[in-house]
Structure 1
């Protein structure tokens, strides 16, 4: 693996210094001398209960009643024990358990037995929490737990005896104090936003804590302005994180109104921009395009979030800040990745998919990237992040981004980030009803001296997509010492069928029977196996069209897809 350059070393040093600063501040604020500042006037009651907007699954209660606790795509067999007293199947399972988001599933049953079980589980958690460290007290998990407990306060506090009521409220008060002291040490990105949302919600909803509202509100606004980009995307370049964020921010705005306060304009603006970006990234199947950490999801969840956007929400014409482009004509929608990876500290789930695209025809996906595997399929992550798992060109069997392997950095940010391409160019246009985009990236420049450029052109009726992939030096002419192999991948959704009609022509059949003909010249066309990593049932086999050849330094490959009438 190449050694780190000076810029990367300086970045790691800067991250290390910032981490040490935040940890020192957290230790100081967590000391008895300072914790009293956050104690408020106690936590005697929940003043308002925010609306739970996340979808609930009442069948979860049936599983729990039979001794099974399924979280993060894994199931723990409780064998009569409390879920807090069994060995967690995975860290992801433990985080979901201690975050208590599953309480909404029990509340959805509207059965007293399920509500009683929820109260018992909360009291059991309180009785076992003697320590204030480990997964249960990671700042983001504390924040998620506070949001969940407050949202389900009606169920949790109903019919409790005085002692149990006091235990729950006392725990809520203690967790608020803990989070006020520790939120700064949460990982950058969504975890830190979750902490601040929880603090603002707690200050609004829990008696005796609103004197700290101004500080929490200002910190939340500062983070939103830093993390939500101009076009509504998130700085991590993952569209999927925005859906959860919006489902937290919308009820927060309602809580301001319930307390007779005007919600900050910055929160409403962030929600509106993010809703527009989600619509921009949604394909015909109702799902978000699978780039940079987008994993298994549900069209219903995306539809639920966008249902709050209102009819006046306009689709952005471009998402330059986030690095995505959209071509849409007739029944065909295409989303293209035209951005560099996010900052190192947020690039642990970023994928090497520069210039890759996804395409839907009506409600069906035709071309789809592999996506990011779910919690139960982490062994596939490395393969899913590679360029070869995306609808783009891979040169010399390498990825256009490179992994940054550095033990200290990995420990700081919780994973292995990627870096590069440093420069990605894109320019979109329209002519005679046809839309097109010209793009290029320098991910292979330092290693091989070549720029990958791509032109996509979608006809006015949406029935013809033409593409040109080219490899060129940045200027002049280049003759490589050794020809390099390339492969241009076109991964088909598993529901599509593909057959080879002629050496350079194949037929792609959609579930509704429509046919797209794929043809190419300037390379060898093959149909090969592929994997779709983000099916709800786990990684699923699929097919891919691959254009293979070698380049001596200057190569053009022309290809097209046409929908048969």
Structure 2
């Protein structure tokens, strides 16, 4: 007999065996973290980090990410702006001995996210950066759980490695020695971190790049350690179609930047790029093209925000003539439909599981739609950098179906989230997609079990009509277990909705019939969203851009469903005349 399932207002409570398994993993992780902290704070560990003295710098790796020299000049003028927060420190102030306005600001500060822009401001920027490094070293030079934790250390090592040569050019002999020692100690520590296994590949890349920058045997030791870790993780994280194992398009682009930097660093050291890394660069480049829509920006799914055209162009500048990607990414679980002036990307896979799901979203069958180069339909675009609650990872924060006040999955909370991270649990486990291309357009059927806790299966049928230049959709909820007598029993209704989250630059209005919705984007081209829903509403929403929420709207098509019988809503998106 199957274990009993208890439902709650937020969905359902999983079987006791599953809850116990997650709790045991959380307890084990918490114990490991405690042991790790004791070791990292010990004298023997500090001695090991000191290692062999580094006498010189070698490679100067180039990070292809765009930099903002103007932002660096603002730091020189005394204003430090990071992740939506701002701190006035003056021309010689110390931000590390001053309270940060937000935790997100503090994380970005200790990641040294300001360093590339400051170095780009020229010699004055490099000298100011050296003073800031000295300020950081004085307060945080010894291990502590925050500034030396994985959230901060990985990016700090990466930024320090890329900036080491221009910083050393403006440094005194003592400052240059401190810089080399800092980079070596932090890279050695980074190589030992086991927490947040989803970032193990990115940590390995940062360690290897640091090894390329440090000359002599200390650098060689880091290169060897980093490349061994890279070989263990890269084929698991980079899927055969180029998608990132977390299913986040943005995570794939950021990893591509890191691997391109690694490739440059290894070439400067006269070392071959591992075949697996070269293969991953090609695959990630292809996936980046797949996820880039006609407006030049990246689609936003599973903890990834919309990435703008400038950054995408920088990621692909190494290979301008790369192969044209297919319209299917079967390993990543996405499909693209293109026809006429419409373009759509659909999430056709289950969310990542376990430690890979710390930014996954419970939004199966979500879609993003571009209409005549205007991104009209999108999602809230939540990411781990966003200043918003994990509620934006739930089903009603994307352009898909939501049932009742629940969600097709939920993030962990409380002790288990603290120990393991905010894993997504109880999400869709079975998602299937069937696609058919013909001369007149593209059919796509997506079926998933994300609403199994209310006894329903969601089927989203899409047809992009290239001739009529319109998109037709049908969202059906059907009973998982058909019971001939159920329809005769007591009637129980649940509200359900089909949501279309609008881009902040799109606007919508309901026609006089109370059903049809006119949507316009920046190009002022109108699109009618017609439907057979019981009720239609335009409600407020949010859209995250660089971690900050922008006001947006959403079109909500409302109806009711009897779990024993099912229900459906049909809709059509077509270009308005004139």
TM-score under structure 2 length normalisation: 0.89
Q: CA deviation at 1:289?
A: 1.7
Which consecutive unaligned segments of at least 5 residues does structure 2 have? Answer: 1-7
| 1:16–1:481 Cα change, 3 Å | same
Q: Residue 386 of structure 1 corresponds to which residue in structure 2?
A: 394
Q: 2:65 aligns with which of 30, 54, 57?
A: 54
Q: Residue 203 of structure 2 corresponds to which residue in structure 1?
A: 195
Q: Residue 107 of structure 2 corresponds to which residue in structure 1?
A: 95
Q: CA deviation at 1:88?
A: 1.9
Q: CA deviation at 1:416?
A: 5.7
Moved more, 538-547 or 421-430: 538-547
1:319-330 residue pairs with structure 2 within 5 A? Answer: 319-330=329-340
Pairing 1:409–2:416 present: yes
Q: 1:433 aligns with which of 431, 435, 440?
A: 440
Q: Secondary structure at the match of 2:99?
A: coil
Q: CA deviation at 1:23?
A: 7.0
Q: 2:347 aligns with which of 324, 328, 337?
A: 337
Q: Residue 471 of structure 1 corresponds to which residue in structure 2?
A: 477
Between the aligned partners of 1:415 and 1:456, the Cα distance in structure 2 is 32
Q: CA deviation at 1:500?
A: 2.6
Deviation string, structure 1 residues 431-450 (Cα, Å, up to 9, x no partner)? 3331111111112222x221
Deviation string, structure 1 residues 152-175 (Cα, Å, up to 9, x no partner)? 123211142222222222222322
Q: Residue 143 of structure 2 corresponds to which residue in structure 1?
A: 132
1:24-423 residue pairs with structure 2 within 5 A? Answer: 41-78=52-89, 81-110=93-122, 112-180=123-191, 182-184=192-194, 186-190=195-199, 192-207=200-215, 208-209=217-218, 210-295=220-305, 297-372=307-382, 375=385, 377-378=387-388, 381-405=389-413, 407-415=414-422, 417-423=424-430
CA contact (8 A) 1:140 1:195 kept: no
| 1:3–1:391 Cα change, 3 Å | closer
Between the aligned partners of 1:71 and 1:236, the Cα distance in structure 2 is 26
Q: CA deviation at 1:12?
A: 4.5
Q: Secondary structure at the match of 1:93?
A: helix
Q: Secondary structure at the match of 2:422?
A: coil
| 1:153–1:213 Cα change, 3 Å | closer
Between the aligned partners of 2:181 and 2:550, the Cα distance in structure 1 is 47
Q: Residue 555 of structure 1 corresponds to which residue in structure 2?
A: 567
| 1:132–1:39 Cα change, 3 Å | closer
Moved more, 465-474 or 127-136: 127-136
Q: Residue 4 of structure 2 corresponds to which residue in structure 1?
A: none
| 1:30–1:211 Cα change, 3 Å | farther
Between the aligned partners of 2:558 and 2:21, the Cα distance in structure 1 is 39
- Aligned alpha-carbon RMSD (Å): 2.7
Between the aligned partners of 2:226 and 2:141, the Cα distance in structure 1 is 27
Q: CA deviation at 1:118?
A: 1.3
CA contact (8 A) 2:63 2:260 kept: no
Q: Residue 525 of structure 2 corresponds to which residue in structure 1?
A: 514
| 1:178–1:493 Cα change, 3 Å | closer
Between the aligned partners of 2:271 and 2:576, the Cα distance in structure 1 is 58
Pairing 1:442–2:449 present: yes
Moved more, 4-13 or 218-227: 4-13
CA contact (8 A) 1:487 1:547 kept: yes
Count of aligned residue pairs for this structure pair: 556
Between the aligned partners of 2:441 and 2:325, the Cα distance in structure 1 is 19
Between the aligned partners of 1:35 and 1:375, the Cα distance in structure 2 is 31
Moved more, 170-179 or 528-537: 528-537
Q: CA deviation at 1:465?
A: 0.5
Moved more, 162-171 or 1-10: 1-10
Between the aligned partners of 1:49 and 1:153, the Cα distance in structure 2 is 7
Which consecutive unaligned segments of at least 5 residues does structure 1 have? Answer: none
Between the aligned partners of 1:220 and 1:26, the Cα distance in structure 2 is 24
